[in-house]
Amino acid sequence: MTTVTRFAPSPTGNLHVGNVRTALHNWLLAKKTGGKFLLRIDDTDAERSREEHVDAIRADLAWLGLSYDGEERQSLRTALYEREFQRLVEAGRIYRAYETAQELDLKRKVLLGRGLPPIYDRAALKLTEADHAAKAAAGERPHWRFLLDHDQPITWDDGIRGPQNFDARQMSDPVIRRADGSWLYMLPSAIDDIAMGITDVLRGEDHVSNTATQIQMFTALGATPPRFAHEALLTGSEGKLSKRLGALGMADFREQGIEPEAIVTLLARLGTSDPVDPSLDATALAASFDLSRFGRAPARFDEADLHRVNAQIVHRLPYARVAQLLPQGMSEAAWDVIRPNLAHINEAGDWWQVLTGPVTPPAFDDETRSFLTQAAQIAATLDWQADPWRALTSALKDSTGRKGKALFLPLRQALTGQDHGPEMAALLPLIAQDEAVRRLSA
């Protein structure tokens, strides 16, 4: 059976790092076996959903390289939901209820005060048709609940958490439709998973109780539930759930100079026992993706780790991948020389300035200025295509007796204005000979 996964964001805001991790893991799970990864926009909340967020979701997935094999919009599938809803009503699996939020809250407090679980008491099931007619005449509109089967145990073998068992008698019948006719999450999601042929649902552990309810919905709809796996939620570097994680969008990372490969590389392994390996591309990451490698402990996301991985990624990026992001005129040879010194691609401009000038060296004492004047005279005579750095330093060592830091550091400072950086043997040929002579003379 072909593996079919889905990512189902609500377009009520931009994707954050937790959303992206879920999308990525579903993408990897599908691609590992040559399956399909689908995008479903859960936009049944018409009041909060925004089209600009839909566009942003698509753009973020494209930037990350998470191509999808099909897209659905829940707002265009209401006829399907209505049909399946009526079928469940007729089967006695959905019923009307009228309690207000305040009334339900009071019931919960009473139960908790008695030391009992705050489970809905199914009082609405006792209403007669005459009661319903009277409420309708009074202008009361019902919301709708799914009737859990208390005699049917809820079990599944979770791909990460292992065997799961729930007692439906310890669960409230969930509200699936509001009084205004709008849908809540769980029933449309189950209906869509059936219609879209979803075989595997991989999501956060905060959905475990939803899964228990939805398994009975799948059965009531006459379908076999998909395989479920629930991964630990992300925590921040401080070791607890962080509001910041819910605010970190892909635009924030782009502004920080983070490359999509770094995000994919880090998030693919986050929560597993596998090391983060920047040498692996998306295809290799998919081939090695294994739910059995995920642990139950919260997955720790640290921005410092992301920047570290980003630097490792940048050091490997070929010129063709970055050419359009580099300063105009910067060659492949220049990129190959400077990239080991970059943490972010946008830092290339600083080193391009070093190559093209002008640079600002430190103030030198008289002895060092004399040394650099001699260096300029030698540099003017060299074959710039034949390892000028070796030739320059060898000649200066012989004529001045300098060696080590006393030999190399003043040359680097005069030529680049920096105390450290790329290997000068590779960097010097990229500086025009007359420019190098001018800098040494200055």
SS3 176: strand
Q: What is the pLDDT of residues 358-404, one digit of tens each?
A: 999 999 999 999 999 999 999 999 999 999 999 999 999 999 999 99
Mean residue pLDDT across the chain: 95
Spatial distance between the Cα atoms of 370 and 414, rounded to a whole number of angstroms:
12
Question: pLDDT value at position 71?
Answer: 98
Q: Are 264 and 282 in contact (CB under 8 A)?
A: yes
Q: What percent of the chain has pLDDT over 70?
A: 98
Residue 239's region, left for phi above 0, alpha for psi from -120 to 50, else beta, is: left
Distance (Å) of CA 362 to CA 64, 231, 352, 405: 43, 54, 19, 16
Question: pLDDT value at position 70?
Answer: 97
| Position 168, amino acid | A
* Centroid of chain to Cα 128: 50
Burial 302-327 (b: 16+ CB within 10 A, else e): ebeebbbbbbbbbeebeeeebeeebe
Spatial distance between the Cα atoms of 263 and 63, rounded to a whole number of angstroms:
11
User: Where do the structural domains in the chain lie, given as residue ranges?
Assistant: 4-71+184-233, 80-177, 319-356, 366-441
The alpha-carbon radius of gyration of the chain (Å, integer) is 32
Neighbours of 228 (CB within 10 A): 23
Q: What is the pLDDT of residues 150-202, one digit of tens each?
A: 999 999 999 999 999 999 999 999 999 999 999 999 999 999 999 999 999 99
Spatial distance between the Cα atoms of 142 and 123, rounded to a whole number of angstroms:
13
Instruction: Please state the CATH superfamily assignment of the domain spanning residues 80-177 in this structure.
Output: Glutamyl-tRNA Synthetase; Domain 3 (3.90.800.10)
DSSP string, 337-372: HHGGG-SSGGGHHHHHHHHHS---PPP--HHHHHHH
- Given this structure, which CATH class describes domain 4-71+184-233? alpha beta
Predicted confidence (pLDDT) at residue 239 exceeds the cutoff of 70: no
Tokens found for residue 80:
């399907």
Please state whether beta strands 36-41 and 4-7 pair in parallel, antiparallel, or not at all (unpaired): parallel
Burial 187-206 (b: 16+ CB within 10 A, else e): bbbbbbbbebebbbbbbebe
Looking at domain 366-441, which of 1.10.760.10, 1.10.10.350, 2.30.30.100, 1.20.1050.10 is its CATH number?
1.10.10.350
Element (H, E) at 4: strand 4-7
Predicted confidence (pLDDT) at residue 123 exceeds the cutoff of 70: yes
Residue indicated by tokens 């992300």: 234
- Phi, psi (degrees; rounded to nearest 5) at 45: -85, 85
Q: What percent of the chain has pLDDT over 90?
A: 92
DSSP string, 373-388: HHHHHHHTTS-TTS-H
Q: What is the pLDDT of residues 159-171, one digit of tens each?
A: 999 999 999 999 9
Q: What is the DSSP letter of 39?
A: E
Question: pLDDT value at position 242?
Answer: 63
Q: What is the pLDDT of residues 26-54, one digit of tens each?
A: 999 999 999 999 999 999 988 899 999 99
* Centroid of chain to Cα 442: 50
Q: Which residues contact 193 (CB under 8 A, 6 or more apart)?
A: 6, 201, 218, 226
Q: Which residues contact 122 (CB under 8 A, 6 or more apart)?
A: 173
Spatial distance between the Cα atoms of 368 and 326, rounded to a whole number of angstroms:
35
| Position 257, amino acid | G
Question: pLDDT value at position 387?
Answer: 95
